[in-house]
Structure 1
Amino acid sequence: RTVRDSHFRAVRKMVKKSDVMVFTLGLTEMWMDKVDGAAYPTCPGTVAGEFDPERHVFKNLSFGEILEDMEATMAWMRKHNPNLKFLLTVSPVPLAATAEDQHVAVSTTYSKSVLRAVAGELRARHDYVDYFPSYEIITAPMSRGAHYESGMREVSMDGVANVMRCFFEAHGDFRGPPSPKLEMAGSAEYETAEAKEMEVICDEAKLDPVVA
């Protein structure tokens, strides 16, 4: 509970002090707790905890549900920071697995299509919302998959660099010192650091047999 309270305090501070909030929309699939309504990014029992079929239920969110949630989230944030703006992106990383009774490629297309449509709708509705097409830059047919690593899930450092170049051209170059991660790209130290970071921040990677 202490860790959770500390996290919530940090979130409130971040919301109040931020000028722009960047949201990267990634998945529509989720697992819910029928008892308290808690949402899980991965199925309980795959990364942590135990699966209880009487308590845990799968849900694949619709366009309307995600739009409603995003509207509520942004409204709450702007209540505490009326000048806050939002920059939306969609993750180009495909799903590693799906709980739907269909191929993961089909589920990936559904998720990304719905999320992209939500981002477009929010941008059209609000003058404080913008969309940056990192998803399109990485996945566009003319790229021929060149912005992905060999496993075709992780975005390559060249892909990241291209996205950031486009971002700064569109929004202005306000960068500080060069990122140590970009300078390390390709080195053994970078690969080790990246692998450790994936263990910490990417629960879904646990579902990928290539990574796991």
Structure 2
Amino acid sequence: MKLFRTIIHPEPSQSKIGYQTPVLFMGSCFTENIGNKLTELKFPVIVNPLGVMYNPVSVCKGLEILLEQKEFIDSDVSFYNEQWFSFYHDTEFSHTDKEKCLSGINDSIKRASLHLKNAEYLVITFGTSRVYRYLKSGNVVSNCHKIPAREFERFRLEPDEIINTWTELISKLQKFNPKLKIIFTVSPVRHWKDGAVENQLSKSTLILAIHQLKEKFKNADYFPAYEIMMDDLRDYRFYADDMLHPSKMAIDYIWEQFVQTYFEARTIDICKDIEKIILAKNHRPLNPGTREHKKFCQTRIDYIQDLQAKYPFIDFIKELNFFQSE
């Protein structure tokens, strides 16, 4: 029987992500959809160390901050609406106390900079080619922090602007970490503020720029998350209630495609073993404290200890502590 859909099968990558492969994820909220799955499965990853970023210029600036291991000082943060914040960081770093704001920012930069130095993969997700430039500084910002729109200029980047900016950055990254490989993706989340036509123009700009970069650099790859959503999962049942974000089912489907593209069979087997622990940990007992529940926990402790012996390169301390405290 003929299938009434077009199935996309990304070509398997020659180089793979494993449990001893440090990965850094940066970009839009879709980056977190994939990155957080890897975190949960205990891969050595860091996800969005400066918070969510949607446009190529902001992601580029964020990586430059990590390359420099920049230390933020008083003059690098601003104050508005009773909060100290950085225009290059998400609101999760904002704080009523300036020192706590700076401490959170600098601690994350130090940790992520070291991770980038040792990383084998950098996964980048662009969400939009539209940017906000703060008029007072002339700089493109990652987050407007609810400052009035009149204080920003909003415009769409041209492909050449993205290509030129990222050509320079990738050259710096290659010197900083010669073994680093880059996976570009475009977020399947639709940016509807400016309507359907502008959304397509924005996404097309990103895709065109990425493919030019992929042709320039041998260490660059493209994972078609956007195309899987648009042309494979071509149905509103794969969207969340807002009809803009992918549903959990869609994210899981794209995740499976990512796994098949970048994971070896052994890595997939390890994931399955760890998923059993995750399911057990998320299980809510009907009668905690009973002999039956204690037996359940001991069985899980024995299983985790077996996994620790089998995979000594994975840290299961949190999981052991969880079941031992039950």
User: Shift of the alpha carbon at 1:135?
Assistant: 0.8
State whether structure 2 residue 107 is matched by structure 1 residue 6.
yes
Deviations 1:17-40 (A, max 9, x none): 210000001111111124433212
1:108 is aligned to 199
Structure 1 contact 31–39 (Cα < 8 Å) conserved? yes
Please say if residues 130 and 155 of structure 2, whose CA atoms lie closer than 8 Å, have aligned partners that are also in contact.
yes
- TM-score, normalised to structure 2's length? 0.48
1:163 matched to 2:270? The reply is: no
1:71-86 to 2 correspondences below 5 Å: 71-86=167-182
Q: Which residue of 1 aligns with 2:117?
A: 16
Tell me, in whole angstroms, the C-alpha distance in 1 between the residues paired with 2:205 and 2:155.
14
For the 8 Å contact 2:233–2:250, the answer to whether it is kept is: no
In the TM superposition, 1:129-168 aligns within 5 A as 129-140=220-231, 143-168=234-259
Deviations 1:16-64 (A, max 9, x none): 021000000111111112443321245x4xx4234454xx322210000
Q: Deviation digits for residues 49-82 of structure 1, max 9, x if unmatched?
A: 34454xx322210000111122222222222111
Contact 1:31–1:40 (CA<8 Å) still a contact in 2?
yes
Choose from 99, 124, 128 the match for 1:27.
128
Alignment pair present for 1:97 and 2:229: no
What is the RMSD computed on CA atoms of the aligned residues?
2.5
Task: Give the 3-state SS of the residue equivalent to 2:133 in structure 1.
Answer: strand
Q: SS at 1:168's partner residue?
A: helix
Offset at 1:141? 6.3
- Contact between 1:15 and 1:77, CA under 8 Å: does it hold in 2? no
Q: How many Å separate the matches in 2 of 1:142 and 1:6?
A: 40
Is contact 1:87-1:131 (8 Å) kept? yes
Q: Does 1:64 align with 2:165?
A: no
- Cα distance between partner residues in 1 of 2:164 and 2:275: 38
Task: Please give the secondary structure, in 2, of the residue aligned with 1:178.
Answer: helix
Structure 1 unaligned regions, length at least 5:
99-103, 185-212
TM-score by length of 1: 0.71
Aligned residues: 173
**Contact (CA 8 Å) 2:214, 2:221: kept in 1 or not?**
yes
Q: Which has the larger radius of gyration?
A: 2
- Rounded Cα–Cα distance in structure 2 between residues aligned with 1:159 and 1:23: 19
- In 2, the alpha carbon distance for the partners of 1:72 and 1:8 equals 21
Amino acid at match of 2:253: N
Deviation at residue 11 of structure 1 after TM alignment: 3.5
Is residue 150 of structure 2 the alignment partner of residue 49 of structure 1?
no
